[in-house]
Structure 1
């Protein structure tokens, strides 16, 4: 594990206190520190983040909590959050409000969400206590002050009211209370793995569940996944292999990954794919010579238009296999500077069990240009809540998570980065050079010593 240390100042240990009443609470805080990024609409370079020093409000209003964000994961998902920050469907910049300072404002800059762990410093809700460990959809900041839905607090979680966002965003508004979270372990390494995999894994998990619910588009035996080195992609491949090992789908199902030449070895070494092919020469792979009677599913994680056109052109041939379905699962090729972020189309998302049990062709296969379907996890999860009990959903998730934590150690090398200046530099490096698939970033705007002291 590689760790970057940039500062040496110390913070006094957090003292556990009794719950506060609901009256406003005066807070004596250090200056806050938040990483902000330019909005595309501002015309500024979106790869130039701003580290903002600003003062937190002096009072904690009723039904609010102040969270000390200890550390958070950073992956290609966060780059997508930024690229789609102003997109009318996703609206990732609408989860947290940008501070108003001389250098940034809510009109010129946004805050991309991050999944991380923190500690409750102040609470004006009687059922939420100071000193609690929490996990949620936070901001890259030191302190995060959020409202709490007064009647939406239970032993497992509480919720941030965001009435300006669609109801299916509720999973993102949930803040988990770690003491009652069956998937939580206080081990720092497990916390790191949680921040890296939990957001991506559940997208992959429910996507595989969606495919399985349709019998893999009535029995497709070849699953083609682009951006195969990304965590979302290889977690999907891992889950398909798990399904095969449980004999719930045929062992003849094969998973083929597409990746770049520089990521080929890493992706092969993961062991999740039956075959890994380079983008430039994928049609020469063994799977592509299996004949015209094979049914394929293409899962597009890269969102690379040129690649997609080549794949569609290949399957347009009457001598190729048939595409039973094309699913858009990710946007790993989308950068905040790309104009493509403004043209992402989400109108074709149906998320239904299209193939019927009687075999009727409600999911008809085009011989030439099959329709791409968008997969958005909260929307499918909303469907599943009407088909499965909450207890069954939790049971399935807990078992899947337990297996992942036992299997994923060693897939990537965790790299921790501490301190505002070091995090800003790391972000700029990623923006300019891209993400290495064999690295998992854990970032903190706190100096290492300050974070350690806050956990004592």
Structure 2
């Protein structure tokens, strides 16, 4: 049995290669999984662009300091087990490598799932180390695993952004500016924010995606990147930066004199990433979803946090997957060439926002 993995060069993420290694025998306490379905979204581009800064490369080390493995969200099945509490055939949702196999070291096993206790993960955030058994997962819906792989991790980030802003009284702002408004994380955030009173949600996007963003119905207004002058410069606002476009960030900070908070979330515009030093107004601050999870676990307890998330998730997916007017259709592909082509297209910002892409390497 062999494992095939897509790797990207850490300092030039447009460069890729495939590696094939013979699978070593499992050690006591380990399980081997077959990664059967995973999503590729702008979120994965962020993982690559921020791989060193946010330690995304550390989850599945490549063994080569110059090359990394991008983590992806999706589903896998246990095909071999040397752990008494994890059976062959169990299906799991979680954070996988862009590969056909993954070896895990289950610990703290419960009916809901387990953590991966591999030594190299000891200092990494626990949220990404959780593998969830689909048989007891409140989020899992049979027959919609592609939608779950595509939207679940993004929407949970969206939900946490909305919760974070509300928790901070929107930093005294009345208008929220969301860049890369056609991205799934952005419109998931807009979907949640639209349920709040007293705030205006403005989506910023390219001219080619304006019609799509307007069709969603969750933005108060959609504005092209070259049309910022449509928004009054003294508007008290928060900037939610899903794009990571340094030039746009500079324009936002220089134009809006009442900018109350600048939140860096994603990096869909990899070619335009730039530092944030010397900008007028508030210092851009990276949003780290696990930190808000930790806070709400302390505030509410994990069961209540989970209940709120599941309720919101069900409402969002019902709307996004509405067969009469879906926000997203799913395109599933197999094989190395398809995955690599989609990755390169996504790096260039050429993906159709109305299409979600899932893959298998089997």
When the two structures are superposed, what TM-score results if normalisation uses the length of structure 2? 0.92
1:297 maps to which of 238, 242, 253: 238
Offset at residue 204 of structure 1 (A):
1.1
1:85 CA drift (Å): 1.9
Give the match for residue 175 of structure 2: 222
Residue of structure 2 in register with 1:177 after alignment:
133
Are the equivalent residues in 1 in contact too, given 2:329–2:356 (CA < 8 A)? Answer: yes
Whether the 8 Å CA contact 2:36–2:100 is kept in 1: the answer is yes
Give the number of the structure with larger relative contact order, counting CA–CA contacts within 8 Å between residues 6 or more apart.
1
**Structure 1 pair 398/445, CA: closer, same or farther in 2 (3 Å)?**
same
2:361 paired residue number? 445
Alignment check: 8 A CA contact 2:270 2:347 kept:
no
Q: 1:387 to 1:119 in 2, by over 3 A?
A: same
CA distance in 1: counterparts of 2:245 and 2:273, whole angstroms: 13
The whole-number CA distance in structure 2 between the counterparts of 1:49 and 1:79 is 13
- Secondary structure of the structure 1 residue equivalent to 2:110: coil
Residue 327 of structure 2, aligned match among 395, 408, 411 = 411
Q: Counterpart in 2 of 1:276?
A: 222
Is residue 34 from structure 1 mapped to residue 5 from structure 2 by the alignment? yes
- The whole-number CA distance in structure 2 between the counterparts of 1:74 and 1:212 is 29
Provide the alpha-carbon RMSD of the alignment.
2.1
How far apart, in 2, do the equivalents of 1:203 and 1:373 lie? 16
Question: What residue number does 1:363 align with?
Answer: none
CA pair 195-384 structure 1, distance change in 2 beyond 3 A: same
- Which residues of structure 1 form unaligned runs of 5+? 1-28, 99-104, 245-249, 317-321, 346-365, 447-456
Match of 1:326 in 2: 262
What is the number of equivalent residue pairs in this alignment?
357
2:52 corresponds to: 86
TM-score by length of 1: 0.74
2:91 is aligned to 133
Q: Does 1:422 align with 2:334?
A: no
* SS class of match (1:280): coil
What is the CA–CA distance in structure 2 between the aligned matches of 1:120 and 1:182, rounded to whole Å?
A: 20
2:166 & 2:341 partners in 1: Cα distance? 42
> Which secondary structure state, in structure 1, belongs to the residue aligned with residue 300 of structure 2?
coil
Tell me the distance in 2 between the aligned counterparts of 1:168 and 1:94.
8
Per-residue CA deviations over 1:405-444 (Å, capped at 9, x if unaligned) read 2111111221111122332233233335633222211011
Deviations 1:150-188 (CA, angstroms, capped at 9, x unpaired): xx100001111255457561010000000000111221x
Q: Residues 306 and 420 (structure 1 numbering): CA distance in 2 closer, same or farther, change over 3 Å?
A: closer
Q: Tell me if structure 1 keeps the 8 A contact 2:191–2:316.
A: no
Match of 1:256 among 197, 202, 208: 202
Kindly indicate whether the alpha-carbon contact (under 8 Å) linking 1:95 and 1:162 is maintained by their aligned counterparts in 2.
Answer: no
- How far is 1:344 from its partner? 7.7
- Separation in structure 1 between the aligned mates of residue 131 and residue 288 of structure 2, nearest angstrom: 20
Alpha-carbon distance between aligned partners in 2 of 1:431 and 1:332, rounded to the nearest angstrom: 8
Detail structure 1 runs of 4+ shifted over 4 Å in the superposition. Answer: 162-168
Which residue of 2 is the match for residue 401 of structure 1?
A: 313
Unaligned 5+ segments in structure 2 are none
- CA offsets per residue over residues 122-159 of structure 1, 9 Å max, x none? 1111111110111110011111112222xx10000111
Displacement of 1:232 after TM fit?
1.1
Is the Cα–Cα contact under 8 Å of residues 168 and 378 in structure 1 kept in the other structure? no
In 1, distance between residues paired with 2:78 and 2:106? 13
Q: Give yes or no for the alignment of 1:157 onto 2:73.
A: no
Alignment of 1:240 onto 2:204: no
Residues 75 and 435 of structure 1 are in contact (CA less than 8 Å); yes or no, is this contact kept in structure 2?
no
Q: Is the 8 A contact 2:104 2:118 kept in 1?
A: no
- How many angstroms apart in 2 are the aligned matches of 1:325 and 1:430? 28
CA 1:309–1:339: 2 relative to 1, 3 Å: closer
Paired residues of 1:295 and 1:323 also in contact (CA < 8 A)? yes
